[in-house]
Amino acid sequence: MKGLWKTAIATTALVAVALTGCASDGSDGSGDASRELVVGSADPVPDLTPGRQSNAYGLMMSVFSPLTFLDADGGLGYVAAESVDSEDKATWTVTLRDGWTFHDGTPVTAQDYVDSWNAVALGTNAFANSGQLASIEGYADLNPAEGEPTSDQMSGLEVVDDHVFTVSLTQPDSQFPVQLSQAQTAFYPMPQSAFDDLQAYGKKPIGNGPLALTTEWVEGEPLVAERFDEYKGEGSTVDKITWVPYSDRLTAYTDALAGNLDLTALPATRAMQVSDDFDEENIYSFSAPGMNYLGIPFWDERFSDVRVRQAISMAIDRSTINDTIYGGLNKPATAWTPAVMPGNPDGVCGEYCEYDPDAAAALLQEAGGFDGELTIHFPGGAGHEDLFNAIANYLRQNLGIEAVARPSVGWAEFSEARNAQTLDGPFFSRWGALYPSQQSTLRAMFSSAPVCNNCGGALSPDVDAALKQADLTGGEDGTAYAEVQRILAEDFPIVPLFDESYNYVTSDHIEKLTASGVGEPILTEIVLTDD
């Protein structure tokens, strides 16, 4: 029977399965093709060094093991770390598990972590994920606003012995152990041999995970990783994974339909027909810590009145868009972070995230109306056309605004215009959290030092202060961040649209697919059918 979907539902706010679950039965499985997987993927960033990689999370989480992970119940667990402790939330002690080695046989030590983090943080190395380490004391010395770095080592890192090191942060942060989890790849360790030639290392990195690469990266060519027999964590359920790169998801989808792939992501353009193409047991939808918004150009005075922003939000029928464009895969937003986040204050957006065209029109009139044409900007070529054309239609129909949706030539043109504040209307905005905590999204979008520039609307010192207080007082349950979102609900800087889902199709070779807390399938935990 076709038409139904396997859906992962988080019970306490996370879709996640512990990275060490579903252990191997201990057999080596060498040469057994039935224990192999072929995965369709985007071509990775042409450097597989963890601190540089931004789109090959499945591969990274197979070749490397993180210090911590979050389980299906939202509890913090440990993989490479024995413990991560602090008495004041400002200085943390990381104790490593004994006996772990890299794929080259060298032991994993505290010095390896400290050297790796320093290499990623050093500004002159230009690691894309360097910012993940920005809260460590001394990071600014390695990344001065002007001139050359004054040091190549962060003062906040100190090796105690082979298995223990300490981390001093610039301010107390209750979420630090969560930040060490699987998608924060800047925190992965590298062996000492990596520092001899980081560029060469990036072609075929040596990790500490359940699988070891057996081929090096060549543009457009498959990558292969096989079981690492000396791995000290829970063993992989598969013996070999081949990642086949594709320039677009639709081609990969077609190959999966033809039986040439065991797993690939579902393109948004196939959401409405996937149930006709695949049986229900081959379709998976995982709630994810990603969220999209309608960004507001706070530099344009026409949007300075909060009632204008609220009216735009109320004029958009999120439920209908979700059903007709996304096939019901996403979830209409009711807060400024996704519902899968621990402690997320669902419903904090209130009436302004509910579809009410009459109230929206009245609110806009109360604010004095809207002058001129409203242009909605989004990056072209990424499959966003239907969404933003629908939003433009709702604004024309419900608010009487001359609204049009206009794509850029590509991502680069769009992001440059957003960063330069030259966009003259609302725009595509999104954040996919790298660890399932409200902190990740709130910092990236709404803090005084946002990772996504101009994405979260006008910056607020009240939000910044509330964030710092939540970092200090919060726990793993995430409820401390609710106050931040209450301030956002009052200011309404941007329009929340949808909590995202990450969706996949599989071959009959896969019996069960599980996902981590970031919505990415845990490839080394896949349960295979008995062929």
Q: What is the reported pLDDT for 74? A: 62
Instruction: Give the per-residue pLDDT at 71.
Output: 67
**What ranges do the domains of the chain cover?**
6-246+507-528, 287-501
Confidence of residue 26 (pLDDT cuts 50, 70, 90): very low
**Mean of the pLDDT values across residues 137-154?**
95
322 by DSSP, 3-state: which? helix
Residue 70: predicted pLDDT: 75
Q: Which fold has domain 6-246+507-528?
A: D-Maltodextrin-Binding Protein; domain 2 (3.40.190)
Among candidate residues 355, 360, 356, 359, the one with its CA nearest the CA of residue 370:
360
Asked if pLDDT for residue 4 goes beyond 60, the answer is: no
How far from chain centre, in Å, is Cα 477?
19
> What whole-number percentage of the chain has pLDDT above 70?
92
- Tokens describing residue 190: 């590298």
Cα-based angle 340, 346, 350 (whole degrees, multiple of 5): 150
489 vs 348: CA distance, rounded Å? 7
Alpha-helical runs (H) found in 373-460? 385-399, 411-419, 438-446
* Distances 43 to 183, 213, 347 between C-alpha atoms, Å: 18, 16, 38
* C-alpha to C-alpha distance for 252 and 149, rounded to whole angstroms: 43
Whether residue 32 is predicted with pLDDT greater than 60 in this model: the reply is: no
Flag whether pLDDT at 30 surpasses 70: no
Pick from 27-31, 62-66, 93-97, 341-345: least confident: 27-31
At 146-169, the pLDDT tens digits run 999 999 999 999 999 999 999 999
* pLDDT per position as a tens digit, 416-462: 999 899 999 999 999 988 888 899 999 989 988 788 889 999 989 99
User: What region does 34 belong to: left with phi over 0, alpha with psi -120 to 50, or beta?
Assistant: alpha
Mean model confidence pLDDT for the chain: 89
- Give the pLDDT confidence of 407-417 residue by residue, as tens digits: 998 788 998 99
Note the pLDDT of residue 46. 77
**b vs e for 41-71, b when ≥16 Cβ sit within 10 Å of the residue's Cβ?**
bebbeebbbbbbbeebbbbbbbbbbbbbbbb
Please give the pLDDT value at position 310: 98
Region 331-344: what's the mean pLDDT? 94
Q: What is the reported pTM?
A: 0.83
| Calpha distance 318→333 (Å, rounded) | 8
Residue type, 275: S
Contact 485, 460 (CB under 8 A): no
Burial per residue of 125-139, b for 16 or more beta-carbon CB atoms within 10 angstroms, e otherwise: bebbbbbbbbbbbbb
Q: Which two tokens stand for residue 323?
A: 């059903």
Task: Express each pLDDT in 319-329 by its tens digit.
Answer: 999 999 988 98
Residue 530: band (very low, low, confident or very high) from pLDDT cuts 50, 70, 90: confident
Q: For the residues 213-231, what does the mean pLDDT come to? A: 95
| Rounded Cα distance, 277 and 513, in Å | 19
Domain 287-501: state its class.
alpha beta
